[in-house]
Amino acid sequence: MLVIHSYGLAVFLAFITMLCWGSWGNTQKMAEKSWSFQLFYWDYAIGVLLLALILAFTAGSIGTEGRSFLEDLAQADFRSIGLAFLGGTVFNIANILLVAAIAIAGMAVAFPVGIGLALVIGVVSNYMATPLGNPVLLFAGVALVTVAIVLDAMAYRKLPSSSSGNSTKGIIISLVAGFLMGFFYRFVAASMTADFVTPEANKLTPYTASVIFAVGLLVSNFLWNTIFMYKPLVGEKVTYKDYIKKGNAKLHMVGILGGAIWSLGMTLNIIAAEQAGYAISYGLGQGATLVAALWGVFIWKEFKGAKNVKGLLTAMFAFFVVGLSLIIVARLY
């Protein structure tokens, strides 16, 4: 399988993750006028698995280092497979809540609040398990990201629509999503070998972990997403008949594309973790909050009509940039 051997390349892959994780939500925004988020999410889950399998049978099965995908899968023990599967299950409920929050509050709020919280929890939990990097710089960066989350929520409260119950509802759902999402990565990391070149027996390499994670996501969708289809947090109830009859090729492809974009980021992120450490790799990937906020503010105009928010949004972006910079340099000192 293909592995990397430098911290610089690891940071680059984590940066690609940041772009992927911060941009996939655009596919939901493209489909939401014609397609409820629950129906969109079925195609998203399929896209996550398809891309993980493509990477596993290509980059995960060539080269002389590590183990090929099928070889790795055959030797893995139940515990490692179960942890990666559990990671996909936990992520799935968190991400469905995030998608609901996007539908209610928009990308510029759901991502900074939800994924920003996930970044804080994920960095702390992964650093405690694998303490790589300067803790002062790392946690200072996390603290600045936390400030950015608060500033974003303050700006959102200034929107004309924030006087309705949806304001509080959108932020609460984002926070619950972020809390759950802060833990999924630790399960995946615990399933993986520490050395990708000469991997431990019974453990998973990153390409295999990504596939098992995606299987957990898709299988658990039959539970989590079915609940949200028939008991929606926003919008009308939808059924499996709606997925079959109301969908078209374009809508399905948009959802699959969204899942594939997210899945690419996930695989690259756990590949980068060997050199960067799980806390830093995850923290940089969740810089997606900044990317999503940029999309939401400048492309989707989600703060249009809000008064006196320019200073808050500028400060939010500044705190995110400085915080992420500290997370990057934490591995160098």
- As a whole number of angstroms, the distance between CA 202 and CA 297 comes to 46
Residue 93 included in any domain: yes
Given a cut of 70, whether residue 317 has pLDDT beyond it is: yes
Cα–Cα distance measured from residue 328 to residue 285, given in angstroms and rounded to the nearest whole number: 11
The larger pLDDT score, comparing residue 282 to residue 111, is at 282
> Could you tell me which of 288, 308, 258, 280 has the C-alpha nearest to residue 29?
258
281 pLDDT band (50/70/90 cuts)? very high
Average pLDDT, the chain: 90
The rounded distance, in Å, linking the Cα atoms of 258 and 267 is 15
> Is 74 a residue whose pLDDT tops 90?
yes
What pLDDT score was predicted for residue 162?
Answer: 54
Q: b/e string for 69-107 if b means 16 or more Cβ within 10 A? A: beebbeebeeebbebbbbbbbbbbbbbbbbbbbbbbbbb
How much is the pTM?
Answer: 0.89
Does the CA dihedral 111-112-117-121 come out positive or negative? positive
Choice between 120 and 161, residue whose per-residue pLDDT is larger: 120
What local confidence, expressed as pLDDT, does residue 167 receive?
65
Lowest mean pLDDT among 54-68, 76-90, 293-307, 316-330: 293-307
Question: What pLDDT score was predicted for residue 104?
Answer: 82
Give the mean model confidence (pLDDT) for residues 2-27.
93
Calpha distance 202→205 (Å, rounded): 10
Is 3 a domain residue? no
Per the structure block, which two tokens stand in for 106? Answer: 């928009």
- The predicted model gives 28-54 an average pLDDT of 93
Mean pLDDT of 165-185: 85
Rounded to whole angstroms, what are the CA distances from 42 to 52, 92, 139, 228? 16, 11, 36, 12
What pLDDT is recorded for position 111? 75
For 12-30, letters b (16+ CB in 10 Å) and e give ebbbebbbbbbbbbbbbbb
Backbone angles phi, psi at 143, to 5 degrees: -60, -40
The domain total for the chain is: 1
Integer CA distances (angstroms), 150 to 116, 155, 190, 305, 319, in order: 10, 9, 31, 20, 11
Provide the pLDDT for residue 300.
84
- pLDDT greater than 60 at residue 40: yes
Using 50, 70 and 90 to split pLDDT, how confident is the model at 54? very high
Q: Residue 78 has which token pair?
A: 């139940």
pLDDT of residue 149: 80
- Find the domain containing 68 and state its range: 17-332
Average pLDDT over residues 51-70: 96
CA pair distance 112, 174, nearest whole angstrom: 9
Residue 256 has pLDDT above 90, yes or no: yes
| Strand extents, DSSP E, the chain | none
11, 277 in Cβ contact below 8 A?
no
Question: What per-residue confidence (pLDDT) applies to 161?
Answer: 62
Q: Which of 21-30, 176-185, 264-273 has the highest mean pLDDT?
A: 264-273
- Bridge partner residues of 192 (DSSP): 204
pLDDT computed for residue 179 by the predictor? 93
Which pLDDT value is given to residue 33?
A: 81
The model's confidence at residue 73, banded by pLDDT at 50, 70 and 90, is very high
**Band (166; pLDDT cuts 50, 70, 90):** low
Residue type, 110: A
Q: Is the pLDDT of residue 302 over 80?
A: no
Q: Could you tell me which residue, 116 or 311, shows the higher pLDDT?
A: 311
Q: How far is CA 157 from CA 50, 106, 152, 177, 312, in A?
A: 39, 13, 9, 19, 11
Asked if the structure places residue 4 within a domain, the reply is: no
Residue 78 pLDDT greater than 90, yes or no: yes
Determine what percent of the chain is predicted with pLDDT higher than 70. Answer: 98
333 Cα distance to chain centroid: 27
Beta strands in 17-170 (DSSP E): none
106 assigned to some structural domain: yes
Residue type, 299: I
What distances in angstroms separate CA 302 from CA 30, 207, 234, one per listed residue? 14, 36, 18
11 lies in some domain: no
Beta bridge partners of 204: 192
